[in-house]
Structure formats: C-alpha cells, structure tokens
Amino acid sequence: MLTLFSGFICALLIGFLILRYQASHQNFTGDHDLIGVQKFHALAVPRIGGLIVFTGIAFGIIVRYFSPDKAAFDVGIGLLIASLPAFLGGLCEDITKRVGVKMRLFLTALSAAIAGYLFNSWLADIQVMGLDVLLAIPMFSILFTCFAVAGVANSFNIIDGFNGLASVVALLIFLAIGYVAFQVRDYGVLLCCFAAIGAIAGFVFWNYPKGLIFLGDGGAYLIGFWIAELCILLVTRNPTVSKWFPVLICIYPIFETLFTIYRRLVKGANPGMPDANHLHQMIFRRIVSDPARNDDSILVKENSQTSPYLWVLTSMAIMPAILFWQTKWALQLAIALFCITYIWLYWAIVRFKIPNWLSR
C-alpha cells in the first residue's frame, strides 16, 4: 500500500504544480484545437497529464528501494527504464505536435524490445494453433511481442477521447492484473500495478469530471505500454495464467482499434486518419449530448457523462476475466460475447435504435 499511496500523493502534487503554473507553459502544452473531429472540450487544456502518471509511477516504485523484496523493485525499475522511449515520444508529440504516429509506434516497439531484453519476456506461446509454431522461432517471437505491445499502447491512445475514459479503463485493467498477480504471488507485477493505480488515481483527481488536464499521447502510450508489458510478464512468468486473460481484460481498446480499422477500410478511408465515429463519440452525440444546449459548462458536463458508459462496458470484460483467469475456453467465450455486444451496441446507436435503458 505504500507504493500505491506514494504514487497517488506524488501524482496529486505534480498535477497541482502543472495547473498552478499553467499560464507559464500553456502556449506549448495546451490543447488549443477546439474544432478537430475528435475534440469535445470547450477551452484550451494542458495535455501533459502523462507527466503526472510517469512521475507518480516512478515515485511509487522508488520508495520501495529499501524494501526486502529486491526482485520486485528490480522489475519496477527495469520496466520504468524500458518505458522511456514510449513515454517521451508521446510527450514530445504533446508539446511539439510534430511526432507522427509511425514514430510513436516505433518508439513504443523499441520500449517493448528493451523490456523483452531486460526480462527475457517474449511471447513464444499464445495458445493459438499454427501461430504458436511460428512464435517458437525467436525472431518471430520478438517481432510479434513488439508489434503487440505497440498495438495495445496505440489502442489506449485511440480511446482517450473523454474525461476519465482511458484512465479509468486503465485502472480497472490494472486492478484485474493486480488481482491475478496476487493469486500467483508475482510481487514484481503486483508492485508495478500498485504504482500505476496510485499514479493514475492522482491524475483522475484532476481530470475527472472537469477535465482540468488531459492524459495526452505521452500518458496514453505510457499506460498502454505499462499494461501490455505487465500482461506479458504475468503470463510468461506464470504458466497457470491463460494467455487469453490479457486479451479479455484489454478487449475494449483492442476491439475498438480493430473495428475502427475495419470501419474505415469499408468506407475506403485511410485507416490511420482520425474521425469522429468511435463508439465513445457516438455515445456522446446520440445518447448524452443535447444539441440545443451549447453552453461550455454543459459541454464539460456531457463530456464527463460519456465515460461511465464505457467503464461499464469494460467491466463486462473484467469480471469474467478475474473469475476465469486460468480457463482458456471461458475467456474465449467471454471475448466472443464482448465483441458481439460491442457490434450490437454500435449499430443500434448508428441506426437510432437505442435501448430505453441506455437513454438519458
């Protein structure tokens, strides 16, 4: 609990300092684009919330330097070092707006390669017949691991569209990872979960519901990388944990990304170009938002009212995951049911056939 509490207090303090001196750095840290297709805020807001999360995680781990469990501390420090390319690449984009998505993905893959080297943690078995044969070849295993980590990190950047959305989804996922890590007595992974939970909780304090600061690309890629790597460490160090457990707990951001690519390809659009048709954006426009009210305070309120819909959706994956973390077929069934639910919900909203229990 020392790690969690320390990370939380540090994140609170860093958030306070960023907001207290916002006027001095707003010109290069603020999100001034209020009319972009993915913009739903009314005022320019600092988008360097990743600094809050990173410093919170770092402090939560460093305070355990004198802990008798040196192995757990080493995992935390190693993962923190490995995360630097992913985090700094995103943070540079937040400040300069000049780091493209391909470079950010490359830097996140580099972080994954560093982590894989430090911990010798490569995905050589994912319980998929045929693919496991290829993954038995070291080069394929390394490339697949880096690709998977970069993909998961990018998926958190995609769902980071509303106050508290990506951050609380990440909290739920870290709680699930931490629960299973405790069950298998993997205290290194558990320590990293506590540090992340404390840091993100400190960020959420400033971000939700008023959106005083945004996670930014630095925060989204950092959180996504941290989740992906902890999942890899959990399943590679503990064979009793099914390889499908990480897939289920991360299925919302993963499926959002895959469905977005499919949706854009069907329309003949560039899969990498942003649009305003993600599930969270559809919920905002067709369930939460009232077009007749354009007041800035109402917009902020409606922004914050959107995220809980996706928190509930994520919980639908988290609950069966923590119940059946050892059972492959149950996890696969839950994944299939989630995907069907997502598609049904999306098309119901698109066709204005929204169930009454979803309407305001």
pLDDT, residue 41, reads 53
Q: Please, what is the average pLDDT of the chain?
A: 92
φ, ψ of residue 44 to 5 degrees: the values are -65, 130
Domain with 10, as residue range(s), is 2-358
Does pLDDT of 276 surpass 80?
A: yes
Residue with tokens 């950047």: 157
| Per-residue model confidence as pLDDT tens digits over 101-127 | 999 999 999 999 999 999 999 999 998
Average of pLDDT values for 155-166? 96
pLDDT, residue 360, reads 60
Angle at which helices 49-62 and 70-82 pack, to 10 degrees? 160
pLDDT, residue 3, reads 94
Does pLDDT of 177 surpass 60?
A: yes
Does pLDDT of 261 surpass 80?
A: yes
The residues facing 31 across adjacent strands are 45
Q: How many Å apart are CA 69 and CA 90, to the nearest integer?
A: 32
Q: How many domains is the chain built from? A: 1
Tokens read off for 232: 């890899």
Cα distances from 330 to residues 66, 319, 320, in angstroms, run 41, 12, 8
Tokens read off for 306: 């959107």
Query: Could you give the angle at the alpha carbon of 358 between the alpha carbons of 201 and 41, nearest 5°?
Result: 50
| Per-residue model confidence as pLDDT tens digits over 22-52 | 989 988 888 766 555 445 555 679 999 999 9
φ, ψ of residue 31 to 5 degrees: the values are -90, 95
pLDDT, residue 313, reads 96
H or E segment at 31? strand 30-31
Q: How many Å apart are CA 174 and CA 15, to the nearest integer?
A: 21
Contact 216, 205 (CB under 8 A): no
pLDDT, residue 33, reads 63
| Per-residue model confidence as pLDDT tens digits over 197-214 | 999 999 999 999 999 999
Contact 45, 213 (CB under 8 A): yes
For the chain, percent of residues with pLDDT exceeding 90:
79
Please choose, from the candidates 167, 183, 337, 323, the residue with its C-alpha nearest in 3D space to the C-alpha of residue 251. 337
| Per-residue model confidence as pLDDT tens digits over 186-199 | 999 999 999 999 99
